[in-house]
Homo-oligomer: A and B are copies of this chain.
Amino acid sequence: MSVYTVKQMAKLSGVSVRALHHYDAIGLLKPRAVGANGYRYYDRQDLLRLQQILFHRALETPLKDIQAALDQPGFDLAAALRAQRERLVAEAERYARLVDVVDRTLADLEGDVTMDDKKLFEGFDPEKQAGYEAELVERYGEPMAERIAQSKAGMKAWDKTDWASFQQEAAAIEHDMAKALAQGLPVDSGPVTAIMRRHWAWIAKSWNREPTPDAFAGLAHLYQDNPEFTARYEAIAPGLTEYLAEAMRAFAEKR
């Protein structure tokens, strides 16, 4: 009565026959018996195990780990679930952030603002974002962490117009720096200093607070060390990353 063929198991559980073959092959779920004809026969215990498998699979646990969880008697399921929970929370947040990115990009598109000014402030690749922050905090201590939090809080309240003007100013600064570089102006010359004043103000706006000279110079390093920034600047003009960084350091020293 309670013996099922592959097809029946598939219908009862919602997985494919191929998946059952696969689970058999990797030893995750072996049928209770195999006939002389090679047919797989499952029973209710197998069905129960399959249900457990599906539970873990829905949480995106690798099949290997599921096997380990189900086969080891003293396995700490609660601990594993708590670990999974963290992962899932992180994923949920990641996707929420990506939605934000798309929203801002769409706002850009519909507002007809130039399309290329979105890379810097998008917040995708949160690991790297976290990396920047960790770097800044390590270099400048706890107060920096607070500043970052302030910055985030402040920027959250911005509307689309704020973002658009913010990005336009960034583009303008970059454009002017590229021109200065092309003209061979020294980084401590008057015009470049003027641009740096605008950059300083722009940073102050994004941080919701005046940067210290040290932090400003540290940002220059950050620009040089991280691909997100170098790619952006190098794409505008070759050598712009270093030129900008030098200009920032020169400006910071005068403060």
Contacts and interface: CB of A to CB of B under 8 A. Distances in A.
A138 B194 CA distance: 67
| Nearest 10 A/B pairs, CB to CB | A14-B227, A92-B95, A2-B238, A58-B124, A91-B95, A85-B102, A12-B231, A47-B235, A13-B231, A92-B96
B51 A14 contact: no
A71 interface: no
Q: How many copies are assembled?
A: 2
A59 interface: yes
A129 to B, nearest CB: 12
A232 interface: yes
Given A44-B235, A51-B232, A58-B101, 10 more contacts: A12-B227, A12-B234, A14-B128, A14-B227, A50-B231, A58-B125, A78-B109, A85-B99, A85-B103, A85-B106
A82 interface: yes
Interface residues of A, number: 50
**Binding site of A, secondary structure by majority: helix, strand, loop or mixed?**
helix
Interface centre among A58, A98, A238 (most CB of B within 10 A): A98
A234 B1 CA distance: 11
A77 B110 CA distance: 11
